A = this chain, B = another copy of it.
Amino acid sequence: MAMLQSIKWENNVIYILDQRLLPEKIEYIKCTQYEEVAKAIENLSIRGAPAIGIATAMGIAIATLKLKAKTPEKFLEELKPVFWRFIKTRPTAVNIKWAVEKIEKLINNNFHKSVQELKELIINEALRIHQEDIEINKSIGENALPLFKDGCTVMTYCNAGSLATGGFGTATAPMYLAKERGIKFKVIACETRPVLQGARITSFELMHAGIDVTLISDNTAGALLKRGFIDFVIVGTDRTVRNGDVANKIGTYSLAVLCKENSTPFYVAAPLSSIDLKTPSGEQIPIEERNPDEVTTIKGIRIAPVDVKVINMAFDVTPAKYVTAIITEKGAFLPKHIKYLNDEKRLKNFRLKL
């Protein structure tokens, strides 16, 4: 099975697959400066909550290589603008802040070490975050795998795939595992306007891995759900909060409502890193508004009148009541039990058998 990789670290160079060029071209952006990595996050060359967390950690690691600081204090001071640059790239995604805080904490915990040692620690941490992400996704895949019965048809939205992560993806992890284990299933990929991650990326990476995938316009999802063609829907998440509300790509909410209306289970694959237990409910999640050009042009071709007003929200919030289960590397849970994620004793009573 040929699974594509979104990001690679080789000899102190970061290679980012330029997903804006998919599906025509498989081309990697070679980054030796953190600014190149930040730009790649900003312009969506790399996207997907876990992948941009990894890119942030690697980007900070590569920034350290150029720093001249001689003391840990000065080193941390010089890194602050780098942290800030990454945090500003994408406001809704929690993984960037998570990666920045992880590295800041690592430095603070090792303030007795030399700057050279700190640089090595940070590089190793970035590589560890990448490796850990792959392991986490495999665990999510194992936990979701019981949903995949021979002959089933599953719908997914946007790209919570290998290319949104360090590898395997979140919503796609059980697909890759099911494929490896010879389970026969079909995937319906929604194209996901405006940025078309489903058309350009999900259908591409699944085809690349030999998985049976069919592309639809997002507007076709309702008709297929109504006809009973879909056994369940599984999507990723950019941020899931304490009460189980799920922020994800704009249109996820609509799909969840259509699932409820048609009694089709709606699952969210969520690594712990995307679960924000500090935010009480979806109402507090800031929703990024993006450039109108994403709606009015496609690959530079204009599809709407010049100067037409546009609302282009990048995400929406799916209230917990529409979510059948949230599948994490720790197991699958009802949305209302997500708040116990850090309370192993209570959590074990709430693990669902899918």
Instruction: Provide the residues of chain B in CB contact with A212, threshold 8 Å.
Output: 309
- Max count, chain B CB within 10 A of own CB: residue among A23, A220, A221: A220
Contact check, A200 vs B23: say whether CB atoms are below 8 A apart: no
- In the bound assembly, the distance between CA atoms of A310 and B188 in angstroms comes to 9
**In whole Å, how far is A62's beta carbon from the nearest beta carbon of chain B?**
31
Q: Does A251 contact B (CB under 8 A)?
A: yes
Q: Does A306 contact B (CB under 8 A)?
A: yes
Task: Using A191-B304, A254-B258, A305-B207 as known contacts, say yes or no to A295 and B217 having CB atoms under 8 A apart.
Answer: yes
Q: Does A2 contact B (CB under 8 A)?
A: no
**In whole Å, how far is A177's beta carbon from the nearest beta carbon of chain B?**
22
**In whole Å, how far is A249's beta carbon from the nearest beta carbon of chain B?**
8
Q: Does A250 contact B (CB under 8 A)?
A: yes
- In the bound assembly, the distance between CA atoms of A203 and B287 in angstroms comes to 25
Write the A221-258 contact mask toward B (1 if CB under 8 angstroms, else 0): 11110100000000000000000000001110110011
Task: Using A224-B311, A261-B257 as known contacts, say yes or no to A304 and B199 having CB atoms under 8 A apart.
Answer: yes
Interface of A is mostly: mixed
Instruction: Provide the residues of chain B in CB contact with A287, threshold 8 Å.
Output: 223
Contact check, B313 vs A220: say whether CB atoms are below 8 A apart: yes
Q: Does A54 contact B (CB under 8 A)?
A: no
- In the bound assembly, the distance between CA atoms of A251 and B222 in angstroms comes to 7
Contact check, B222 vs A312: say whether CB atoms are below 8 A apart: no
Contact check, B191 vs A217: say whether CB atoms are below 8 A apart: no
Instruction: Provide the residues of chain B in CB contact with A253, threshold 8 Å.
Output: 222-223, 226
The residue of chain B having its C-beta at the shortest distance from the C-beta of A208 within the complex is: B305
- In the bound assembly, the distance between CA atoms of A251 and B188 in angstroms comes to 16
A residues near B, CB below 8 A?
23-24, 188, 191-194, 196, 199-200, 203-204, 207, 212-224, 226, 249-251, 253-254, 257-258, 260-261, 287, 295-296, 298-299, 301-313, 316
A-B contact pairs, 6 of them (CB 8 A): A193-B219, A196-B303, A199-B304, A215-B295, A215-B304, A219-B251
